[in-house]
């Protein structure tokens, strides 16, 4: 229903925007010919554009509020998103899973090497997102220095290979262990912190690792980084660049499946529930007999482990590491993946990583507006779907006389 | 009567503020004891001292463990250790895990009675599955007793207020306590809900054999439930006795209504 009031509101917004953008969009001083150009056409564009945008925006806000009201009255159950509906129906879920699996396996043969390479990068972010999801999404510990563990993994492979000639497959578990160790190292000092304070300390931790790598030349070769890192070999056979890229893609598919498997099992376990309880209410969680220290440290360690592993793959994929790959910006992207995808939701994080990493790649033509699009996407998401693309669903149990549980 | 909890000479200072001063209290087995007092008297501080949220500056909190003659001193233990020892509490302002289902809330209470670790969770071996199933059944059993089984898969935040209060009790009971500490369980409840709560608490005591120590402002509930009442004011214990004795105790009347000379 469009009422007069709504139109009036949109008109006012568009007038306000025309006024605001008047100095930059309309007036142009031409210093060569000493004249002032009046670009009234721009004003019209701004006016019409903001009118439509404001109208659409308010329309969706109203729809959302109406939905919330109805849900409160119990008239209308909250709209179930498509992904959730697919998940809740076994007949749909299984074929969808098989189709996704076939698509993932056939990807390198359908698309070009360039696409495969991009997809492999996106999968690295899927893994990073799933790892951070343990810390932020499940345990509720806001970690802004997650990229540090990624760096630890990447440098572990680069340095161990450089000095000792260790192969990719040997370093992969070492990277995981080192990541977990650094996770615990970070975990100890921040045990008492929460919320904003935790975020700031983890941010500092991430920067410390990067600055050490940048400045400790004898150890990490400074800003120039380490080059010529070998790609992973297949049973001792060195592959061509083309084949190695495809190989890395499959390695990433495998590692992502492993991550999904482990995270999925963890979140429905005793430990996973303890993480969620910690996120929901720290005091109550401890009063119910959960060891806060142990729970936090396992979250940090298990989260960082995946970053360590994906760091190893990253080093092997790019064959070059330097500190510039591990800036705070990377941490923020990974955090955005988790928040945008849906905190605590595995499917959500996968979707978030694919959207956030692939979108900029395919929108290279609009690269100037990349950050703008990114910002708009985040704002719109947080207003309309605060739970993320695919929000987390908690496990439900069915009881019929005797308690037997069934995953829905 | 055998004592399950004995608090001796408990004192707690925050800097210069003396929140509790030489408070003695004891709870016998199968007994319902109430702790009352005007607002700010130190009741919740007392609870926090017992359950390990604060470490008391003086005094002893002793529990008698079954099968052992010597009582065990528990002050200074972390809250989770206190819960493992068998004291479980609820909170004055409800502190559920809002984003978890009702069953999961209760299962958190089972946490300290379960053993499976990270490796067990990932491999999901036979013992883990068995433990998990046992936890689900045990938790469901408690929900049935408390009457929350229709809500089993609801989010805790979506429950009605009275049900949330009862869920807190259910969650505490899942830790298999010998003593349940209830911090104003009837706060904000309507008379009907309060009556149900009255019956529920009595049932917990009679059927589960759990002793109960509660803080409460609703005098009708306190008088109907308690075997004994302790009264604190300004951090000091000013009276103890049966409901009848407390009702007629001049010091208590003064604390609540003010001295006649002041009026």
Q: Domain ends where: B129, B153, B175?
A: B175
A24 exposed, middle or buried (CB, 10 Å; 0-12, 13-18, 19+)?
exposed
Q: Whole-angstrom Cα distance, residue A290 to residue A279? A: 12
Domain count, chain B: 2
User: The pTM is what?
Assistant: 0.86
Which chain A residues are closer than 8 Å to B151 by Cβ?
none
CA gap B100, A100 in Å, rounded:
30
**Average pLDDT taken over every residue of chain B:** 89
Q: How confident is the model at residue A406 (pLDDT cuts 50, 70, 90)?
A: very low
Distance CA B156, CA A276 (A): 13
Domain co-membership, B77 together with B206: yes
B149 vs A: CB within 8 A: yes
B92 within domain boundaries: no
Q: What is the pLDDT of residue A82?
A: 60
Same domain? B55 vs B10: yes
Q: Are residues B136 and B12 in the same domain?
A: no
Minimal CA separation from A206 to chain B, in Å: 26
Q: For residue A375, name the pLDDT band (cuts at 50, 70, 90).
A: confident
* pLDDT, average across residues B57-75: 84
Which residue, chain included where needed, has tokens 């991009």?
Answer: A118
pLDDT at B232: 92
Lowest mean pLDDT among A114-118, A251-255, A390-394: A390-394
CA proximity to B87, closest of B50, B56, B58, B60? B50
> Do B71 and B122 fall within a single domain?
no
Separation CA A156–CA A154 (nearest Å): 5
- Whether residue B247 is contained in a domain is answered as yes
Whether residue A74 has pLDDT greater than 90: no
* B219 in any annotated domain: yes
Q: Does residue B91 belong to the interface with chain A, where contact is any CB pair within 8 Å?
A: yes
B19 within domain boundaries: yes
What is the reported pLDDT for B3?
Answer: 86
Residues B187 and B248 in one domain: yes
Token pair recorded at residue B188:
């904000």
Confidence of residue A1 (pLDDT cuts 50, 70, 90): low
Mean pLDDT in chain A? Answer: 86
Residue of A nearest to B150 (CA): A399
Q: What is the pLDDT of residues B147-199, one digit of tens each?
A: 898 998 889 999 998 899 999 999 999 999 999 999 999 988 889 999 999 99
Distance to chain A for B158, nearest Cα, Å: 10
Instruction: Note whether residue B91 is domain-resident.
Output: no
In terms of domains, do B225 and B157 share one?
A: no
Say if residue B182 is in the same domain as residue B192: yes
B153: in domain: yes
Which of B140, B160, B175 is the last residue in one of the domains?
B175
Phi then psi dihedrals of residue A329, to 5 deg: -60, -40
- Which domains does chain A show, CATH number per domain? 4-73 (no CATH), 111-384 (1.10.3470)
> What's the token pair of residue A401?
């006389």
For A330-351, write each residue's pLDDT tens digit: 999 999 999 988 888 899 999 9
Q: Do B52 and B119 lie in a common domain?
A: no
The answer to whether residue B76 scores a pLDDT higher than 70 is yes
Q: Same domain for B150 and B185?
A: no
- Are B209 and B164 found together in one domain? no
The residue segments making up the domain with residue B222 are: 1-86+177-263
pLDDT given at position B1: 67
Residue B256 in domain: yes
A273 to B111: CB separation less than 8 angstroms, yes or no: yes
Listed residues B158, B175, B192: the one ending a domain? B175
Query: Are residues B157 and B195 both part of a single domain?
Result: no
Looking at chain B, the whole-number percentage of residues with pLDDT higher than 70 is: 97
In this prediction the ipTM stands at 0.90
Identify the H or E element spanning B228.
Answer: strand B228-233
B24 lies in a domain?
yes
pLDDT tens digit sequence for A196-229: 899 999 999 999 999 999 999 888 888 889 998 9
CATH, residue B186 = 3.40.50.300
Q: Half-sphere exposure (CA, 13 Å, Cβ side) for B54?
A: 20
**A242-272: pLDDT as tens digits:** 888 999 999 999 999 999 999 999 988 999 9
Residue B149 and residue B221 share a domain? no
According to the model, what pLDDT value does residue A80 have? 54
Chain A: residues touching B (Cβ < 8 Å): 262, 265-266, 269-274, 276-277, 279-281, 283-292, 298, 302, 394-397, 399, 403, 405
């Amino acid at each position: 229903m469009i009422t007069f009031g709504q139109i009036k509101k949109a008109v006012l917004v568009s007038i306000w925007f025309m006024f605001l953008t008047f100095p930059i969009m309309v007036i142009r001083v031409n210093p060569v010919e000493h004249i002032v150009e009046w670009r009234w056409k721009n004003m019209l564009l701004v006016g019409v554009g903001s009118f439509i945008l404001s109208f659409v925006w308010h329309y969706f806000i109203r729809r959302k509020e109406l939905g919330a009201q109805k849900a409160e009255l119990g008239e209308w159950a909250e709209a179930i998103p498509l992904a959730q509906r697919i998940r809740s129906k076994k007949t749909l879920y299984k074929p969808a899973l098989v189709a996704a699996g076939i698509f993932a396996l056939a990807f390198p043969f359908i698309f070009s090497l360039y696409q495969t390479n991009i997809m492999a990068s996106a999968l690295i972010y899927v893994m990073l997102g799933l790892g951070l999801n343990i810390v932020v999404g499940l345990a509720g510990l806001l970690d802004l220095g997650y990229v540090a563990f990624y760096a630890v993994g990447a440098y572990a492979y680069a340095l161990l290979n450089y000095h000792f000639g260790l192969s990719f497959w040997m370093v992969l578990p070492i990277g995981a262990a080192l990541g977990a160790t650094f996770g615990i190292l970070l975990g100890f000092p921040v045990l008492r912190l929460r919320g904003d304070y935790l975020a700031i300390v983890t941010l500092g931790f991430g920067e410390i690792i990067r600055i050490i790598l940048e400045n400790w030349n004898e150890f990490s070769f400074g800003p120039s980084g380490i080059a010529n890192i070998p790609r992973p070999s297949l049973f001792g056979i060195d592959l061509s660049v083309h084949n190695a890229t495809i190989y890395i893609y499959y390695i990433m598919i495998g590692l992502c499946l492993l991550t999904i498997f482990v995270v999925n099992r963890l979140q429905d376990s005793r430990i996973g529930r303890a993480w969620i309880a910690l996120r929901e209410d720290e005091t109550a969680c401890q009063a119910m007999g959960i060891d806060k220290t142990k729970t936090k440290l396992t979250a940090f360690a298990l989260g960082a482990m995946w970053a360590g592993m994906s760091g190893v793959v990253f080093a092997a994929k790019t064959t070059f590491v330097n500190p510039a790959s591990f800036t705070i910006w990377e941490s923020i992207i990974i955090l955005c993946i988790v928040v945008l995808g849906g905190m605590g939701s595995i499917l959500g994080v996968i979707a978030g990583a694919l959207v956030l990493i692939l979108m900029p790649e395919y929108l290279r033509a609009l690269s100037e507006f990349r950050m703008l699009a990114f910002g708009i996407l985040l704002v719109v998401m947080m207003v309309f779907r605060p739970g993320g693309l695919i929000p987390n669903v908690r496990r439900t149990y069915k009881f019929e006389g005797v308690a037997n549980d069934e995953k829905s | 009567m055998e004592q399950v909890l004995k608090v001796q000479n408990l004192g707690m200072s925050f800097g210069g503020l003396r929140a509790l001063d030489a408070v003695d209290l004891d709870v016998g087995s199968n007994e319902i004891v109430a702790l009352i007092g005007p607002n700010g008297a130190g009741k919740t501080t007392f609870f926090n001292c017992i359950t390990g949220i604060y470490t008391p500056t003086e005094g002893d909190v002793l529990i008698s463990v079954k099968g052992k003659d010597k009582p065990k001193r528990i002050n200074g233990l972390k809250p989770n250790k206190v819960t493992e020892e068998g004291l479980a509490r609820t909170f004055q302002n409800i502190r559920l895990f809002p984003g978890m289902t009702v069953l999961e809330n209760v299962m958190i209470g089972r946490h300290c009675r379960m053993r499976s670790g990270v490796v067990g969770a990932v491999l999901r071996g036979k013992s883990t599955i068995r433990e998990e199933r046992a936890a689900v059944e045990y938790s469901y059993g408690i929900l049935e007793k408390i009457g929350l089984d229709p809500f089993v898969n609801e989010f805790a935040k979506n429950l009605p207020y009275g049900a949330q209060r009862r869920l807190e009790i259910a969650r505490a009971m899942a830790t298999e306590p010998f003593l349940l500490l209830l911090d104003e369980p009837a706060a904000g409840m309507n008379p009907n809900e309060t009556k149900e709560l009255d019956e529920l608490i009595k049932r917990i005591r009679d059927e589960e054999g759990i002793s109960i120590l509660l803080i409460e402002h609703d005098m009708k509930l306190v008088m109907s439930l308690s075997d004994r009442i302790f009264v604190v004011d300004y951090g000091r214990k000013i009276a103890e006795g049966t409901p009848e004795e407390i009702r007629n105790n001049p010091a208590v009347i003064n604390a609540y209504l003010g001295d006649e000379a002041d009026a």
